[in-house]
Structure 1
Amino acid sequence: MINGNTVNTPEMELKAKEMFQDIELLKQKNDPSAAKEIQKRVNKFLKEMKMPQGGLKSIDTDKPLVKVKKGILGAAALEKAEDQLKKLPQYRNKGILVYQSIHFYEDGSINLMLQHPINSKYIDAYEYRKGAWSAPKPVLATDIERRTFPLSEIHFADARKVIQIYNAKTDQIEGAKPTSNAYITIWDNRMRWAPRTINGTRERYDIQFNNNGTLKSFRQE
């Protein structure tokens, strides 16, 4: 009996199972608005079972949805972004040279510049957002010959290695803050991963990475 009403236990178990399945699907959307939909689904169950709405406090509808920021893309998504870039129609059957830098941001976007596929004196900027690369935008550029590096020798998924290693080191240093961004700089036709320094409240460290994102060196300055 709940509030004077007789509850069919097998029916409650079935409907509860259906409700939790619906809630799990809503959580997987990773959408802040899903919290309201979850609460509606809970209230619907409570109404069907003639229970007071606001019950089932053990269901945490907010916690999984607080994280609005998706963070840097996963390894598979980074590989997909790289593959899509290589398949841009204007670069079909052509080598691609990255100019100056590549930035991997915590919102999942990627910014980079490429040497023009026809005129090597030109540079175009591209942005990757929501699973697609933007149209090229012309930019002013200098020292193009010294500041390019083959895309074929860069693996976007290595950005996750850099962040993981960097953050593991910050855990060992008092006052150091972790990062959620990674980027590549190019000079003299060589690439370097960054960030390259870790600042604590008492110490400062230099950290260097190999091209494949593994740790090259770590020392106190």
Structure 2
Amino acid sequence: MKKIIAAITCIVLILGFAQEDDTSKRKLMVKTQLKARDISDSATLQAMSDVPRHQFVPENVKKYAYSDSPLPIGNGQTISQPYIVAYMTQALQLEPGDRVLEIGTGSGYQAAVLAAIIDSVYTIEIVKNLSLTAKDRLQKLGYTNVTVKWGDGYHGWPTKAPFDAIMVTAGADSIPQPLIDQLKDGGRMIIPVGPHHAVSHLVLVKKKKNKITTKNLIPVRFVPFTRKNKKN
């Protein structure tokens, strides 16, 4: 019995040290990769400090979870660099009561960051197994205010519209009109726009009194916006 208790105690201590190490890495990530650059929004910084990025990456790259780079998550997709996640989140100027649509769930990390700030996140992923895995992961981690859907994000989510903000996490050659239509008056959208397999720009879209304005922010590289049927 003493040996069993000692073994359990050892496991608990190891898990505790691992959790503390991940927390330290996350704090360092926020300090050196975000605050040291131009991320100053307190809600964004808090969300990036709270969400365990290592839980959203495959086992073989967990040791790089808090590195200053994107990471592969399978199916030719990636989890974005922490700075880009924070930059896009900050750019939307979110309020706690906002409803946000995300196109491109991926691992679910960006959705979790949004969910740490706002009331409701609706996220669409076209790759079925990524969608199912992200849904399960988010549920297990307690993100009950995220709804995940498998489907083509080009058409948005009309039955849940309108949205205060929309975030697109895949590179598009143009801004999908259905997404513009699903923005509330006063709504914001951030989306990478540019030629496939080339440098795009993050574009901030604002809708006010049915007038649309766009502003190029920073150059970025994203995986292409995938469609089920490009004719529609």
Q: Same fold (TM over 0.5)?
A: no
- TM-score w.r.t. the length of structure 2 is 0.26
The answer to which structure has the higher helix fraction is 2
Tell me which structure has the larger Cα radius of gyration: 1
